[in-house]
Structure 1
Amino acid sequence: MTNIIENNNSERNKTKYIIALSIILSAFHLYTASFGILPSYAQASIHWAIIATFIVFTRPSGFSFGGKLYDFTLVLITWYASYYLIHVQEELVTRVGLYTNFEIVLAIAAVIAALLIATRVVGKILPVICIIFILYSMFGSKISGMFNTQSFSISRIATYLYTSGDGLYGQTLNISARFIFLFVLFGAILDLTGAGNFYVDLAYSLTGRVSGGPAQAAITSSVLLGMINGSGAANVVTTGTFTIPLMKKVGYKPSIAGAVEAVASCGGQIMPPVMGAAAFLMSEITGIPYSKIILSALIPALLYYFTLAITVYIYAKEKGLKGMKSSELPKVGKVFKEGWMYLLPIVCLITILMRGYSPQKAAYFSIIIALLVGFVKKRDDMNVKNILGALMNAIKNIAPIASACILAGIIMSIINLTGLGIKISSILEFIAQGNLIIALILAMLTSLLLGMGLPTSASYLILAVLVGPALVNMGVSLMGAHLFILYFGALSTITPPVALSTFAAAGIAGSDIWETGIEALKLAVIGFIVPFIFAFSDLLLLEGNILDIIVAIITGFMGCTFIAVAIRGWFIKKLNVFTRFIVAGLSIFLIVPISIYVSLIVTLIICMVLAIGVKMKRA
């Protein structure tokens, strides 16, 4: 009995600490987003110190002997390293790389602590990659060939990782500290207010009557929620809990239901205006205005979701799946009348961003608007307990992202220290031998590989340094190159073997992981095609002659429709493999902006092939 009481007291104390950390982190970010602007290194240092403490509290080491002392030591090192960096940063600049022995030891300890703490929430893959990069910087001088680099001492590596603008507390962590947490908090507050339920109800009221309605609703609701939270897996868990069981109820196979939700949730990270915070990251790295990025990203994202919606519709027609009954669905007018205020935070966010204000300001005011809407709409639920719960959800959701960002800082700093980024870009160009298709395929594979197991934001940051320059050097526009790697970084969450979004969806659907993964790849096929298209032509990115852009958009949607037919293999009747193959191949020529005459001829041929295919099947 005594042990039970002690355990209960321990859990209560632990909860109090977590609540305190949640309040401190949220208050800190809301303050710095509005009034107390800090230098980037200070913002990132405090951000990580609070989150690292939360990680250690919630995921203790579990060592039977000395576990608490070990955890306390990691937290102490993290806090002191953060404090010391803030305290001496300006002095370090004047010293021009001269460090004391104490600073070298502290730098080594800070790097080790970051690796050990982050491993608890991101797994072992990324930390192992970081260690490989560190070992490369230490022993790269012993490698012959293109990967040869100069020799760096441990003290040089550690202090560079600790103090540089590319290191632990550098650009990547600063992006989490400046942008991402505020949008994670925004999403948590929106969920608290009941906006998530409104978006789901709105999606069902608009699309529920269509054949296979729950799947269309899953797509629509995932668009609305996924672009904010920046995590495909998190979006699956949020919306999939509602949509996957309903899809199964109306007749969807579990693997299909899971795949639809995974692909829809993954796409939220490429859908403007927020793009899971990727738009802000891209603007920071490329210098391209935010407004231009979201405008260029719009058509490719719409093509992605349009193809998914058409594919799901064809599947429903093929299987004879009906839409939901009117009695089972909320009325559009009623849903909008009761919940239109939930659109105000999103409208506020977009308006402030489009007027040229910083993402921090936009997120800050959108959070305030969301809270006000919550108090108006759900006054009883907007109590202290639930608000604290939202803050706790925010720190819980940012922990793996911030951890990935600080580890990404290790990788990016080693890349810059050794010049590895230039080497890899040169190798990609050398292997491609001037062939852009080969370069794009290599870039795709690299993006999918490095993106596995990483948040899209962290994946994009690394890929922007490693792969982006090579594509630009080979003639791809700056916008096209960075959207290319963003797309495949996002698609890595549904690409086996490490497909976090697919795994989450399969768990909810109760389906086989690999079967769900294969179905997800089929549904997301246009996501693997469109980036190659805008890498060759900027028309789909809304760059060029207005008439050519309009034609490219129209033919692009036509091509996506035929791609959907080829994927499902059904058009009035079941199509044979030969017909599907021809339709799929010809559809590419519609998505690729060649000329209006070519598009007309290809459309005519596809229609003839489909007519023959249907007639042969009937015979």
Structure 2
Amino acid sequence: MAKDKISLTPELDEEKQAELMAKYDREFTYRRLKGIMAKVVSIVAIVWALVQLRTAALGVFPTTIQRGQHVGFALFLVFLLYPMRKSNRSDKIAWYDFICAGLSIVVAAYHIIYYQPIIHRAGAYTTADITISIIAVLLVIEATRRVAGPVLVSVASFFLIYAYFGQMFPGFLSHRGYAIPRIATYMWMSTEAVLGIPVGVSSTFIFLFLVFATFLKKTGIGDWLTDLAMGVAGGATGGPAKAAVIASACQGTISGSSVANTVGTGSVTIPLMKSIGYRSEFAAATEAAASTGGQLMPPIMGAAAFIMTEFTGLPYSVIALSAAIPALLYFTGIFIMIHLEAKKQGLRGLKRSELPNPLKLIKEKWFLALPIVVIVVLLVQGRTPMRAALFAIGSAILVSYIRKDTRLKIKDIFDGLEEGARTALPVAMACATAGIIVGIVTLTGLGVKFSNGILFLSGGNMYLAMLFTMFASILLGMGMPTTANYIVQATIAAPVLVELGVPIIAAHLFVFYFGIVADITPPVALAAFAGSGIAGSNPFKTGVQASKLAFAAYLVPYIFATNPELVLVDTNAIELIMALATALIGMYALGGAVSGYLKTTARAWERLILAVGGIMLVNPSGWTNGIGIALTVAIFALQTIRSKKETETVEV
């Protein structure tokens, strides 16, 4: 690379990145196997991926077979790859893990071998059915603990206890209680719990999209997008920070992990931000906030978006289109904060001579974006996500052959299949354990009881109900994967919002957003902590800064819940433009209030007025919008005048 160009080589090598991700995200704490067991795991993972590709090409198996074998593959690989204790990441597999892996084969094979008899028994389960079910539930809980941590397992265990000791719970929570055989068989033999909707989606749509994302990374599109973002925005005020936002938004089409996005993109952008004067906490927080939003960005979004298709009954193409404007608002909010902070600190961008040439990058590797175009077009045309992902995977492999330096070898293709399967393990187990929670909610009728409880506490007030739902989603998200968090909230809380008048797509996106925001909300802000590991900053301060930068994430769900035009519900072009304009002005006002800067440093009373004006613009009524715009314009004008006077004083 020429001397006058900045280095876009990651500061951390792959091994250090892996260590950092393992420190802050349980799903990366797997064993580094060698020898024969490494080959066994590789072969099984590839076979699993090929089975999923066969499903996409030729059609799904009967429901319990499709879902049972999916969970079986995941269990087998988890027990071989993930140790019982997080700290024990040696390359040796314990004897009890081999037993658990063997039992994983047994419980999955049981559904395949006895498929017809189980159907004919119609609930009259045998001793063998009960025994297999108990073993399967225990395996699922332990595997999930290893790959996703204790919080999700604790919640699922509480629900199992609730199902058994129901008569001992107070008030509206009380129920007659169920025997262990009834609970166990409902969990494993039915399609209402472990093998329910979440695993059904994981075994079809999600797995293939994760494989697709893996092949995109293999072609080098992630590095290309980061370079392109730096070339486009790196020269602006606070350029590297703005480039981090653009790159992370684009990375949302590749990875659904906040921590992985933060470490991958942040290993380049965080050192660059520090080099132009950003504080360590701010640099790490910027990357964490932007990377967390990657799960909100269509077309791929987080894995939970695919499950949303089943809970809402809406096609994935509709969900992706509905999520597009809120996602852009999220990133716009971060962009505003970065711009105001850069102006406040007097931070300039990098010199154009130091940056990559975006036109040259597009000319050389434009074709890397074609697979994303393919998947978007197919989804818009109404093709199933499963078929769209299959064609997108094929196109990613084909376009790689356009240039020698992007060409995928046969080994790369098999490595991509294996990596895709490994990436699917945390999602599959989170879906399986979340299915336990959903199953207990269905079995005991808790969903209706809980909904009635929220309605009672909120007094039927939509804003209070949204506030309770927000806190619940963030608290659950602090220890649970986004997918599991969404499933629980979609089962319990989203129906309440719908009952209070929030459109179904807005209600489900509402809980989806706040589950994701937990990754940057202290005290457990995993993405922010990962960013602080690169920046060498204080983790907690980084988390606080990230939540300030991402204030839009806490605001946007309320905006689209009360302005359904922004999720394309019953709207026209004029209404959409008006709603979008007021939302942007409101975020600009709130950005000024949070940062303490608009055209110049804001006084305390100016920040207060900006906050009031921004909040007024959240409400869709005409008079509140008018007041909000008037207050924002007034402060903007006052600061413009004061800024000119300050400049004249300095010049004199």
Between the aligned partners of 1:530 and 1:428, the Cα distance in structure 2 is: 22
Name the counterpart of 1:5.
none
Aligned equivalent of 2:487, options 452, 456, 461: 461
Deviations 1:503-555 (A, max 9, x none): 22222222111101101111111111121222223122233354232211112
Which piece of structure 1 moves more, 572-581 or 484-493? Answer: 572-581
Deviation (angstroms), 1:151: 1.6
Is residue 574–residue 614 contact of structure 1 (8 Å, CA) maintained in 2? no
Between the aligned partners of 1:427 and 1:225, the Cα distance in structure 2 is: 39
Name the counterpart of 1:71.
97
Aligned equivalent of 1:15, options 15, 38, 43: 38
Deviations 1:118-172 (A, max 9, x none): 2111111111211111111010112231100122000000000011212222221
RMSD between aligned residues: 2.2
AA paired with 1:15?
A
In the alignment, structure 1 residue 295 sits paired with structure 2 residue 321: yes
Between the aligned partners of 1:60 and 1:292, the Cα distance in structure 2 is: 40
Between the aligned partners of 1:418 and 1:393, the Cα distance in structure 2 is: 39
2:476 match: secondary structure: helix
Between the aligned partners of 2:300 and 2:138, the Cα distance in structure 1 is: 34
Between the aligned partners of 1:222 and 1:231, the Cα distance in structure 2 is: 11
Name the counterpart of 2:18.
none
In the alignment, structure 1 residue 573 sits paired with structure 2 residue 597: no
Deviation (angstroms), 1:349: 0.4
Between the aligned partners of 1:10 and 1:276, the Cα distance in structure 2 is: 29
Name the counterpart of 2:441.
415
The 1:368–1:72 alpha-carbon spacing in structure 2 relative to 1, beyond 3 Å, is same
Deviations 1:365-389 (A, max 9, x none): 1111111122322457623444444
Between the aligned partners of 1:86 and 1:193, the Cα distance in structure 2 is: 37
Is residue 430–residue 484 contact of structure 2 (8 Å, CA) maintained in 1? yes
Between the aligned partners of 1:79 and 1:412, the Cα distance in structure 2 is: 24
The 1:380–1:563 alpha-carbon spacing in structure 2 relative to 1, beyond 3 Å, is closer
Deviation (angstroms), 1:353: 0.8
Aligned equivalent of 1:34, options 43, 46, 57: 57
The 1:584–1:26 alpha-carbon spacing in structure 2 relative to 1, beyond 3 Å, is same
Is residue 562–residue 620 contact of structure 2 (8 Å, CA) maintained in 1? no
Name the counterpart of 2:578.
551
AA paired with 2:581?
I
Alignment of 1:123-162 (within 5 A): 123-162=149-188
Between the aligned partners of 2:222 and 2:253, the Cα distance in structure 1 is: 13
Deviation (angstroms), 1:442: 0.6
1:211 match: secondary structure: coil
In the alignment, structure 1 residue 307 sits paired with structure 2 residue 330: no
Is residue 534–residue 541 contact of structure 1 (8 Å, CA) maintained in 2? yes
AA paired with 2:41?
I
The number of equivalent residue pairs is 609
The 1:126–1:344 alpha-carbon spacing in structure 2 relative to 1, beyond 3 Å, is same
Aligned equivalent of 1:326, options 352, 365, 369: 352
Alignment of 1:598-617 (within 5 A): 599-612=625-638
Which piece of structure 1 moves more, 609-618 or 584-593? Answer: 609-618
Aligned equivalent of 2:430, options 404, 417, 434: 404
Name the counterpart of 1:588.
615
Deviations 1:348-401 (A, max 9, x none): 000111111111111111111111122322457623444444333323322222
AA paired with 2:69?
I
Q: State the percentage of identical aligned residues.
A: 38
Between the aligned partners of 1:10 and 1:235, the Cα distance in structure 2 is: 25
Deviation (angstroms), 1:295: 2.4
Is residue 198–residue 435 contact of structure 2 (8 Å, CA) maintained in 1? yes
In the alignment, structure 1 residue 374 sits paired with structure 2 residue 374: no
Name the counterpart of 1:6.
none
The 1:379–1:245 alpha-carbon spacing in structure 2 relative to 1, beyond 3 Å, is closer
Name the counterpart of 1:167.
193
AA paired with 1:467?
A
In the alignment, structure 1 segments of 5+ residues that lack a partner are 1-8
Deviation (angstroms), 1:615: 6.1
Which piece of structure 1 moves more, 198-207 or 557-566? Answer: 557-566
TM-score computed with the length of structure 1 as normaliser = 0.94
Name the counterpart of 2:522.
496
Which piece of structure 1 moves more, 357-366 or 456-465? Answer: 456-465
Deviations 1:424-467 (A, max 9, x none): 11100011111111111111111112222333222211110010
Deviation (angstroms), 1:91: 3.0
Deviations 1:297-323 (A, max 9, x none): 222211111111111111111112111
Alignment of 1:45-124 (within 5 A): 45-61=68-84, 68-124=94-150
2:302 match: secondary structure: helix
Between the aligned partners of 1:58 and 1:484, the Cα distance in structure 2 is: 35
Which piece of structure 1 moves more, 135-144 or 389-398? Answer: 389-398
Between the aligned partners of 1:367 and 1:50, the Cα distance in structure 2 is: 21
AA paired with 1:43?
Q
In the alignment, structure 2 segments of 5+ residues that lack a partner are 1-31
In the alignment, structure 1 residue 480 sits paired with structure 2 residue 506: yes
Deviation (angstroms), 1:476: 1.5
Deviation (angstroms), 1:272: 2.0
Aligned equivalent of 2:274, options 241, 248, 253: 248
Is residue 533–residue 591 contact of structure 1 (8 Å, CA) maintained in 2? yes
TM-score computed with the length of structure 2 as normaliser = 0.89
Is residue 140–residue 151 contact of structure 1 (8 Å, CA) maintained in 2? yes
Which piece of structure 1 moves more, 103-112 or 385-394? Answer: 385-394
Name the counterpart of 1:213.
239
Is residue 205–residue 330 contact of structure 1 (8 Å, CA) maintained in 2? yes
Between the aligned partners of 1:530 and 1:11, the Cα distance in structure 2 is: 47
Deviations 1:245-279 (A, max 9, x none): 11112211111111111111111222222222443
Deviations 1:439-498 (A, max 9, x none): 111111111122223332222111100101111112211122111111111111211222
AA paired with 2:62?
P
Between the aligned partners of 2:64 and 2:267, the Cα distance in structure 1 is: 39
Between the aligned partners of 1:94 and 1:476, the Cα distance in structure 2 is: 42
Is residue 256–residue 294 contact of structure 2 (8 Å, CA) maintained in 1? yes
Aligned equivalent of 2:475, options 443, 449, 454: 449
Between the aligned partners of 1:164 and 1:494, the Cα distance in structure 2 is: 37
The 1:316–1:364 alpha-carbon spacing in structure 2 relative to 1, beyond 3 Å, is same
Deviations 1:569-615 (A, max 9, x none): 112321122211210111122343222x6545532332323444576
Deviations 1:184-243 (A, max 9, x none): 111111111111111111111111111111111111111111244222122112211211
